[in-house]
């Protein structure tokens, strides 16, 4: 890499997990047997399904296949102290990325081609790091259940629909909180909040031709305006109605949240207590792995 970055050896997920994610996760863990059922009954089937789908219809990234993307993945994994998952590139017109790892055997990340075309290399790495955040925090169990409930809700009897809707709302609330945590993982790898905010800006209103013309400072000012709008009761109500059925917080709120965490002592302490890397190699006294 052309700039020095901090390598977070021994990093634990709870060191960067967003408080809302922690609170929502603890609430889900109180539901008896849910984690065991999803892992035991659905994990192996889902893993095999996605593995076959990826191998058949996507390009597996490696040292000999799109090596620049492979390098971004390996660097991000070393910063977050995480074993590299498989990385696939899939042809798709909608910019997106996603991950899956139910039983830890074949975790993977998928990047859409339109996303790669939209972003700069450091921004692509931030997206990869966001997805790695899901793996680091073991989010996949609840993500899988949320998707299943969305699909099954219409097939249930009325009382089952009510129960499923209640659980779905709880899961969607957790998913939105989990995204804040994964944005933090992106920042820990990018180590520049403007890189993460730029990704959110381009996903909100960018295209390969428009992206170079976008103004990040104006977008951050837009984020502040959104937050100020939500201060009164009407604004709060509109905000809750807008986000209730979303799987992600709105981009401007995510940009504001990551900008705030970048200035926090928690974030600064994570970086300052680790040795620095120079041009991809650790200080010889640190004994860390080479890039």
Higher pLDDT among residues 213 and 174, named by residue: 213
Name the helix (H) or strand (E) containing 112.
strand 108-112
Kindly state whether residue 291 falls inside one of the protein's structural domains. no
Kindly state whether residue 224 falls inside one of the protein's structural domains. yes
Residue pair 103/120 in contact by the 8 Å Cβ criterion = no
- Flag the least confident range among 36-45, 48-57, 144-153, 281-290: 281-290
* Domain span including residue 207: 13-282
Q: Is 63 assigned a catalytic role?
A: no
Kindly state whether residue 23 falls inside one of the protein's structural domains. yes
Q: How many domains does the chain have?
A: 1
- Flag whether pLDDT at 282 surpasses 60: no
Percent of the chain scoring above 90 in pLDDT: 47
Distance CA 70, CA 8 (A): 19
Retrieve residue 129's tokens: 């790091």
Higher pLDDT among residues 280 and 132, named by residue: 132
Kindly state whether residue 88 falls inside one of the protein's structural domains. yes
Residue pair 101/51 in contact by the 8 Å Cβ criterion = no
Distance CA 87, CA 67 (A): 11
How crowded is residue 58: how many other Cβ atoms within 10 Å of its Cβ? Answer: 20
Catalytic residue among 47, 123, 131, 179: 131
Kindly state whether residue 4 falls inside one of the protein's structural domains. no
- Flag the least confident range among 8-12, 53-57, 58-62, 209-213: 53-57
Percent of the chain scoring above 70 in pLDDT: 68
* Residue 145: per-residue pLDDT: 66
pLDDT single digits (tens) 73-83: 999 999 999 99
Kindly state whether residue 50 falls inside one of the protein's structural domains. yes
Please report which confidence band the pLDDT of residue 236 belongs to, taking 50, 70 and 90 as the band edges.
Answer: low
Kindly state whether residue 2 falls inside one of the protein's structural domains. no
Instruction: Give whole-number Cα distances, 69 to 54, 65, 74, 94, 192, in Å.
Output: 17, 9, 9, 19, 19
- Flag whether pLDDT at 95 surpasses 50: yes
Average pLDDT value for the chain: 79
* Residue 194: per-residue pLDDT: 96
- Flag whether pLDDT at 1 surpasses 80: no
Q: Is the whole model's pTM more than 0.75, yes or no?
A: yes
- Flag whether pLDDT at 143 surpasses 60: yes
Residue pair 161/212 in contact by the 8 Å Cβ criterion = no
- Flag whether pLDDT at 156 surpasses 50: no
Kindly state whether residue 131 falls inside one of the protein's structural domains. yes
* Residue 243: per-residue pLDDT: 54
* Residue 97: per-residue pLDDT: 93
Residue 150, exposed/middle/buried by CB under 10 A (0-12, 13-18, 19+)?
A: middle
């Amino acid at each position: 890499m052309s700039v020095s970055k901090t390598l977070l050896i021994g990093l634990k997920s709870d060191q960067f997990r967003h408080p809302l994610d922690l609170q929502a996760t603890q609430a889900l863990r109180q539901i008896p047997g849910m984690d065991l059922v999803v892992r035991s009954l659905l994990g192996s089937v889902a893993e095999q399904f996605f593995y076959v789908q990826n191998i058949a219809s996507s390009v597996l990234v490696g040292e000999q296949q799109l090596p620049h993307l492979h390098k971004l993945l390996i660097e991000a994994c070393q910063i977050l102290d995480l074993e590299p998952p498989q990385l696939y590139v899939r042809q798709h017109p909608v910019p997106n990325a996603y991950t899956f790892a139910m039983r830890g055997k074949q975790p993977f990340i998928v990047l859409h081609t339109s996303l790669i075309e939209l972003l700069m290399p450091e921004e692509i790495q931030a997206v990869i790091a966001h997805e790695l955040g899901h793996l680091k925090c073991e989010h996949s169990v609840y993500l899988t259940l949320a998707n299943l409930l969305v699909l099954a809700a219409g097939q249930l009897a009325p009382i089952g629909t009510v129960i499923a809707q209640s659980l779905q709302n709880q899961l969607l609330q957790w998913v939105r909180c989990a995204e804040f945590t994964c944005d933090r993982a992106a920042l820990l790898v990018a180590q520049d909040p403007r890189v993460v905010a730029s990704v959110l800006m381009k996903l909100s209103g960018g295209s390969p031709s428009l992206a170079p013309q976008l103004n990040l400072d104006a977008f951050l000012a837009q984020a502040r305006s959104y937050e100020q709008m939500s201060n009164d009761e009407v604004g709060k109500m509109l905000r809750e109605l807008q986000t209730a059925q979303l799987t992600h917080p709105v981009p401007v709120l995510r940009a504001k949240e990551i900008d705030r965490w970048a200035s926090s002592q928690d974030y600064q302490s994570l970086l300052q207590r680790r040795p620095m890397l120079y041009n991809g190699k650790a200080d010889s006294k640190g004994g860390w792995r080479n890039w």
